[in-house]
Amino acid sequence: MITRLLLFLGTNLAVVVVLGIVSRLFGIEQYIGGNTTQLLVFAFIFGMMGSFISLAMSKTMAKRSTGARVIENASTPTEAWLIDTVRRQAEAAGIGMPEVAIFDSPQVNAFATGMKRNDALVAVSTGLLKSMTREEAEAVMAHEITHVANGDMVTLSLIQGIVNTFVIFLSRIVGGFIDRAVFRNERGYGIGYFISVMIAEVVFGILASMIVMYFSRQREFRADEGGARLAGKQKMIGALRRLQAQHEPEQLPDQLAAFGISGSRAGGLQRLFRSHPDLADRIEALQKLDSTIAR
């Protein structure tokens, strides 16, 4: 579940950095000068390019990084059940049949990604298939199918593109100011500019990730609700409780806790960098849903 967003954010960051380096090597930035309108256009183009290039690469990157094997022809009853379940849910959600894949991991995990609603990828870990009942796994699949149906990857790409724009724009404003005020450079761009821009991009990028993570958490609530409508409210709650029982007793290291799939409760700034809400909050939100969707 968390794999999808981490892959997207990591690829986006790499693409933006590469685009920034290329623009400096080829002297593109020298034509911007003090023109803030041109700078904003430059930032918008490069920011959106970084976001949507990473989105276009998301399926390929996901397969390679997880070693996911797309099921072409089901060779086991579990694979046949998985394909039938995804097909049924995709039809109910009004989207094209996604590619279905399994990746080898002891962790309970699943993700959906892809640039188009009708050309997506849904993958589950071997750990999930072993640890969850079919009812619980069905709910997880419904959650991922809802991500696809809601266009969450495209939505997050647009949000990421917008925050990229401001990261690129503001970092160059800061870099230009420091280059002139601190390094006293009045002609062109000096080394102080490029160093300041790189540092500012990191700082603003961290702040921007908080915005993306906030919207990600909101989309998770919607995906839970959609999963409840496709698979059943009690199945969705059961799947989340299974995750809660398996993961919350284990205390992850501080540097990893913010990215744990468990959604265990975290406080302070740590909460701002989490892509998923607390499992307890997600279960509570589902319990408050209209009882007519319970099955």
Tens of pLDDT, residues 148-183: 999 988 888 888 888 888 898 888 888 888 887 887
In the set 29, 136, 138, 144, the catalytic residue is 144
- HSE-CB of 133 using CA atoms within 13 angstroms: 10
Residue 189 is encoded by which pair of tokens? 């761009």
Please report, for residues 84, 158, 196, 207, 274, the alpha-carbon distance to residue 173 in angstroms, rounded to integers and kept in the order given: 53, 23, 10, 17, 29
Whether 201 sits among the annotated catalytic residues: the reply is no
Backbone angles phi, psi at 207, to 5 degrees: -65, -40
In 10 A of CB 148, how many CB atoms?
28
- In this prediction, residue 264 carries a pLDDT of 44
- In this prediction, residue 144 carries a pLDDT of 94
- Burial (0-12, 13-18, 19+ Cβ within 10 Å), 135: middle
Backbone angles phi, psi at 265, to 5 degrees: -65, 130
Give the C-alpha separation, 158 to 79, whole Å.
34
Name residue, tokens 């990473």. Answer: 54
Which pLDDT band, with edges at 50, 70 and 90, does 193 fall under? confident
All structural domains of the chain with their residue ranges:
3-293
27-65 residue pLDDT tens? 555 545 556 777 777 888 888 888 888 888 888 888 988
- In this prediction, residue 56 carries a pLDDT of 87
In 10 A of CB 67, how many CB atoms?
11
pTM over 0.85: no
Backbone angles phi, psi at 67, to 5 degrees: 70, 25
Give the C-alpha separation, 168 to 203, whole Å.
11
225-242 residue pLDDT tens? 999 999 999 999 999 999
| pLDDT reading at 9 higher than 70 | no
- In this prediction, residue 241 carries a pLDDT of 94
- HSE-CB of 268 using CA atoms within 13 angstroms: 4
Of residues 109 and 134, the one with the higher pLDDT is: 134
